[in-house]
Amino acid sequence: MARTYSGVNAQLGRSWYDYEGFRIEWSSPERYEIVGRVGGGKYSEVFEGIDMVNTDICIIKVLKPVASKKIKREVKILRNLTGGPNVVALLDVVQDPSSRYHSLIMEYVDNTEWKALYPVLGEVDIKYYTFQLLKGLDFVHSRGIMHRDIKPGNVMIDHRHRKLRIIDWGLAEFYHPGTAYHIRVGSRYYKAPELLVGYKQYDYSLDMWSVGCMLASMIFRKEHFFRGSDNDDQLLRIMKCLGTDCFDAYLKTYNIPFETELESLLQVYPKQPWTRFVTTENQPYASSEALDLLEKLLRYDHQKRPTAREAQGHTYFNIVRLQAASVKGD
Ligand SMILES: CN1CCn2c1nc1c(Br)c(Br)c(Br)c(Br)c12
Ligand code: NA
C-alpha cells in the first residue's frame, strides 16, 4: 500500500480512472504536416510536425496498431494530467481515415540529447532539473497515476528555456491499493528492485527509484549508473552497490520468494558507501547532501523511499527551492 495518495482514485471516482469506458473523439489529421522523424520505438513513431492553423511546431506521435488497446489508457491519463506542472501537453488526437492510424499531437520540446546535455550541466542545473522532475511527479502521483518508465529518454529538457517535460505516458497506470501490476515495465537500467524480483504490488515509489538512478548518473557523471546486461545482471549490479544484507531484509519484509540458478546472485556482497563512487572529476557534484538524498532514494524497500514531495524538501534542493519561492513571492 502506498504511504501517500493511496485512496486518490477511489476519491476521484470511476469517471477519472476507468479508461475502458472512455470514448475518444478523433479529429482529422489534415491540420498537421509531418516535417521529420525524431524517434520511435516498439509502440510508436515520433515526428516533428507543423500545426497548419497556427503554424506552431508540434510532435506527432503515430501509434502502431499493436498499441491499440493501450491508446485509451494513454489518452485518458494525458487528458487527466492536462495543465499539471512539467507534464507534456496533449494538444489533439487524430485518426487517418484511410490508414486508420491513431496519432497524438503533443506539445513540442526543443530537447537536448541527454548524452550531450548531462556533461554540460552544472551542480545548480542538476538540482534545478531534478527538482522540476520531482514537482511533475508529485503532481502525477497526487492524481493517482504512476509513470512506470521514468528515464532520461522520457524527460525532455529544453536547456535554453530551462523547460522540463515528462513524456511518453504509454506505460503509465492508475494506482489502486492491493493491485498486482505487470512487472515487464520500464527500461532496464532504471528498473526498480521490486520489478526485478517480481513483486507486483508496487506503487508510485517505483518512479522514485528511477529518479534515484537519474540523479546518480548526473552526480557521478556516468551515463547510466546501474548498467545491467540483462535483468539478472541489473539486479546483480544493484546488489553489489547496496549490499545483500538489506536485500535479504527486503525479501523477508514482503515475503518475496527469490530463486535463481545464478551463483553470482547467491553471493554475499557488502554495502558500498556512496563515497566509494566519488572521484576528482565528479566530486564538485557529490556533496554530502547529494549522497544523502541518493542513499534515501536508492533503497530496496519501496516504502522506505521518500515520496516526490518529501524529496523536494531535502536540503540538497535548498538553493533551488528558495529561488522558486522567491520567484513566486515577487
Ligand atoms: C524519441 N524522441 C526524441 C525527441 N522526442 C522523442 N520522442 C518525443 C516525444 Br513522444 C515527445 Br511528446 C516530444 Br515533445 C519529443 Br521532443 C520527443
Ligand atoms: Na508522450
Enumerate the H helices of 40-118 as residue ranges.
68-80, 114-117
> What distance in angstroms lies between residue 40's CA and the mean position of ligand 1's atoms?
9
Residue whose CB lies within 8 A of the most ligand 1 atoms, among 59, 63, 102, 103, for a mutation test: 59
H or E segment to which residue 146 belongs: strand 145-146
* pLDDT at res. 280: 97
Quick check: 192 and 210 in contact, CB under 8 A? yes
Burial grade of 309 (CB within 10 A; 0-12, 13-18, 19 or more): middle
> What distance in angstroms lies between residue 288's CA and the mean position of ligand 1's atoms?
34
Ramachandran bin of 198, using left for φ above 0, alpha for ψ from -120 to 50, beta for the remaining angles: left
> What distance in angstroms lies between residue 226's CA and the mean position of ligand 1's atoms?
24
* pLDDT at res. 42: 87
Say how far apart CA 202 and CA 204 lie, in whole Å.
7
Residue 47 bridge partners (DSSP): 37, 60
Closest ligand by atom to 105 CA: 1
* pLDDT at res. 118: 82
Ligand 1 pocket, residue 46 CB under 6 Å: yes
- What are the φ/ψ torsions at residue 38 (nearest 5 degrees)? -110, -15
> What distance in angstroms lies between residue 218's CA and the mean position of ligand 2's atoms?
23
Ligand 1 pocket, residue 167 CB under 6 Å: yes
Q: Name, in order, each residue with C-beta under 8 angstroms of 222's C-beta and a sequence gap of 6 or more.
A: 216
- What tens-digit pLDDT sequence spans the chain (330 residues)? 999 999 999 999 999 999 998 999 999 999 999 999 999 988 999 999 999 999 999 999 999 987 777 999 999 999 999 999 999 999 999 999 999 999 999 999 999 988 888 888 999 999 999 999 999 999 999 999 999 999 999 999 999 999 999 999 999 999 999 999 999 999 999 999 999 999 999 999 999 999 999 999 999 999 899 999 999 999 999 999 999 999 999 999 999 999 999 999 999 999 999 999 999 999 999 999 999 999 999 999 999 999 999 999 999 999 999 887 777 765
* pLDDT at res. 329: 61
Q: Residue 149 catalytic?
A: yes
Ligand 1 pocket, residue 50 CB under 6 Å: no
> What distance in angstroms lies between residue 89's CA and the mean position of ligand 2's atoms?
8
Say how far apart CA 93 and CA 51 lie, in whole Å.
13
Which parts of 182-272 are beta strand (E)? Answer: none
Say how far apart CA 57 and CA 110 lie, in whole Å.
10
Say how far apart CA 283 and CA 220 lie, in whole Å.
8
The residue type of 91 is L
Ligand 1 pocket, residue 164 CB under 6 Å: no
> What distance in angstroms lies between residue 66's CA and the mean position of ligand 2's atoms?
17
Ligand 1 pocket, residue 216 CB under 6 Å: no
**What number does the ligand 1 atom closest to the CA of 46 have?**
7
Q: How far are the Cα atoms of 41, 149, 164, 286, 321 from residue 112, in angstroms, in the given order?
A: 19, 19, 11, 24, 24
Q: How far are the Cα atoms of 61, 94, 133, 284, 311 from residue 46, in angstroms, in the given order?
A: 5, 14, 22, 37, 32
CA dihedral sign, ordered 126, 131, 136, 138: positive
Closest to 156 (Cα-Cα) out of 250, 87, 217: 87
Catalytic one of 51, 96, 138, 149: 149
* pLDDT at res. 121: 93
Say how far apart CA 254 and CA 237 lie, in whole Å.
21
Q: Grid coordinates standing for 241?
A: 552497490
Residue 33 bridge partners (DSSP): 50
**What number does the ligand 1 atom closest to the CA of 165 have?**
14
Residue whose CB lies within 8 A of the most ligand 1 atoms, among 63, 156, 157, 158, for a mutation test: 156
Ligand 1 pocket, residue 59 CB under 6 Å: yes
Say how far apart CA 90 and CA 44 lie, in whole Å.
15
- What are the φ/ψ torsions at residue 169 (nearest 5 degrees)? -95, 20
Running DSSP on this structure, what letter comes out for residue 43?
S
**What number does the ligand 1 atom closest to the CA of 107 have?**
14
